[in-house]
C-alpha cells in the first residue's frame, strides 16, 4: 500500500481518535479560547466531518471544486457558533497537525519510498488547507456582510449607500431641497404669522437625519443651515422673545446630524470592508 493510501486509510479508520485528540487540544489552546467552554461532544463532530471528507478531497482531480462546498459549510458552522475567523482557521491548522502527529505515532511511513510518498501526501494536504483558508475566509466574509445588511435593512431602504456607490444623487438633492424649503417656510409662518416659537421644529429632524444618512459629514451642512435659519427667523420676527429655546434646538440639529453622520460613515466603512457593492 502506498504512503498516501496508508495516510488516507489511517484517517478513515481512526477518525474519531484523531478528532478527540484535536478536540482536547483545541479546548485548551490559548489561541482558540472560543472553544474552551464548548463541551467535547460538541467539538469532536467538527473534526469528524473534516476527516470523513478527507478521502474525497485528497483524491479529487480538482481539489478546489471538491472542497469548496465543505469548507463553506465549515465557515457557516463556526460563524453560527460565534467563533472568530482567526480561531476557526487556527483550529483547522490544528486538524492538519493532528493528522501528522497521529501518523508519526503510528509510524506508517517506514521505507525510503514511503517517506518520499509521505512528502507528496504532505504537499497534497497543504494544498487542501490552502483552499480551506480561501473558501472559509470568503464565506465568513459573505456571512458578515449578510448579517450587516439584515441589521441595517431599514436604513438601507432609506437610500444609504456606501461612499463608493452614491446612487440617486440628483433625486436626493431635489427631495432635500423641497424638505429644507418646506422647513424654512414653516419656521417663517410660525414666527411671523403666529408669533410663536412652539415646538414645530420636530419637522426639521426629517431633513436633518436624512441628509446625514445620505451624505455623511457633508450632510451636516443641512442641519447647520436649518439651525442658522431658525435663529435668523427668530431674530427678525420674534424681537423681544427669548431666543434660548431656539438656540438649544439649533444646537440639537447639528449634534443629531453629526451623530447620525458618524454612525453612517462607520457603517459604510464596515460594509466596504466586507465587499458590499
pLDDT tier at 160, thresholds 50, 70, 90: low
- Residue 71 has φ and ψ, to the nearest 5°, of -70, -30
pLDDT band with cut points at 50, 70 and 90 for residue 252: very high
Q: Which residues contact 83 (CB under 8 A, 6 or more apart)?
A: 34, 35, 91
116-120 own/partner pairs: CB under 8 Å, 24+ apart: 116/3, 117/2, 117/3, 117/4, 118/3, 118/7, 120/3, 120/4
| 8 Å CB contact between 35 and 91 | yes
Residues in the chain: 277
| Between residues 59 and 93, the one the model is more confident about | 93
State the DSSP code for 32: -
Separation between Cα atoms, residue 203 and residue 153, nearest integer Å: 24
The whole-number average pLDDT for the span 151-162 is: 55
Q: How far apart are CA 211 and CA 213, in angstroms?
A: 5
Mean per-residue pLDDT of the chain: 79
Q: Residue 196 carries which DSSP code?
A: -
What is the pTM assigned to this prediction? 0.55
User: Residue for cell digits 432635500?
Assistant: 176
Residue 157 pLDDT greater than 70, yes or no: no
- Going by pLDDT thresholds of 50, 70 and 90, the confidence category of residue 109 is very low
Question: So what's the pLDDT on residue 123?
Answer: 59
pLDDT score recorded for residue 153: 60
User: Residue 64's pLDDT is what?
Assistant: 77
Q: Which CATH architecture has domain 3-151?
A: Orthogonal Bundle (1.10)
- The phi-psi region of residue 78 (left if phi > 0; otherwise alpha if psi is between -120 and 50; otherwise beta) is alpha
Helix runs in the chain, H state only: 3-13, 15-26, 40-52, 54-59, 63-80, 85-106, 112-151, 153-157, 169-188, 205-215, 221-237, 244-273
- Burial of 101 by CB count in 10 Å (0-12 exposed, 13-18 middle, 19+ buried)? middle
| Alpha carbons 53 and 57: distance in angstroms, whole number | 6
Instruction: Provide the pLDDT confidence category of residue 125 given band limits of 50, 70 and 90.
Output: low
Res. 165 pLDDT band, cuts 50 70 90: very low
CB 169 within 8 A of CB 222: no
Sign of CA dihedral 179, 184, 189, 191: positive
- Name the residue ranges covered by the structural domains of the chain: 3-151, 156-273
Mean pLDDT calculated for residue range 244-259:
91
Amino acid at each position: 500500500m502506498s504512503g498516501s493510501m496508508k495516510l488516507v486509510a489511517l484517517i478513515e479508520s481512526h477518525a474519531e481518535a484523531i478528532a478527540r485528540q484535536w478536540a482536547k487540544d483545541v479546548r485548551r489552546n490559548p489561541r482558540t479560547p472560543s472553544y474552551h467552554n464548548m463541551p467535547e461532544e460538541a467539538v469532536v463532530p467538527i473534526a469528524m466531518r473534516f476527516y470523513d471528507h478527507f478521502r474525497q478531497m485528497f483524491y479529487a482531480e480538482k481539489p478546489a471544486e471538491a472542497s469548496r462546498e465543505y469548507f463553506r459549510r465549515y465557515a457557516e458552522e463556526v460563524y453560527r457558533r460565534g467563533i472568530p475567523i482567526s480561531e476557526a482557521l487556527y483550529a483547522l491548522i490544528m486538524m492538519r497537525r493532528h493528522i501528522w502527529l497521529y501518523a508519526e505515532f503510528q509510524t506508517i511511513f517506514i521505507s525510503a519510498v514511503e517517506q518520499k510518498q509521505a512528502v507528496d501526501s504532505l504537499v497534497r494536504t497543504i494544498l487542501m488547507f490552502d483552499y480551506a483558508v480561501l473558501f472559509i475566509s470568503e464565506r465568513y466574509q459573505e456571512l458578515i456582510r449578510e448579517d450587516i445588511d439584515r441589521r441595517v435593512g431599514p436604513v438601507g431602504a432609506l437610500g444609504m449607500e456606501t461612499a463608493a456607490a452614491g446612487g440617486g444623487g440628483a433625486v436626493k438633492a431635489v427631495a432635500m431641497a423641497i424638505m429644507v424649503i418646506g422647513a424654512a417656510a414653516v419656521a417663517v409662518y410660525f414666527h411671523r404669522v403666529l408669533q410663536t416659537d412652539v415646538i414645530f421644529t420636530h419637522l426639521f429632524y426629517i431633513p436633518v437625519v436624512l441628509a446625514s444618512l445620505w451624505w455623511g459629514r457633508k450632510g451636516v451642512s443641512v442641519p447647520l443651515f436649518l439651525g442658522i435659519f431658525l435663529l435668523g427667523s427668530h431674530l427678525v420676527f420674534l424681537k423681544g422673545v427669548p431666543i434660548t429655546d431656539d438656540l438649544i434646538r439649533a444646537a440639537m440639529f447639528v449634534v443629531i446630524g453629526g451623530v447620525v453622520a458618524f454612525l453612517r460613515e462607520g457603517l459604510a466603512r464596515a460594509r466596504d470592508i466586507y465587499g458590499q457593492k
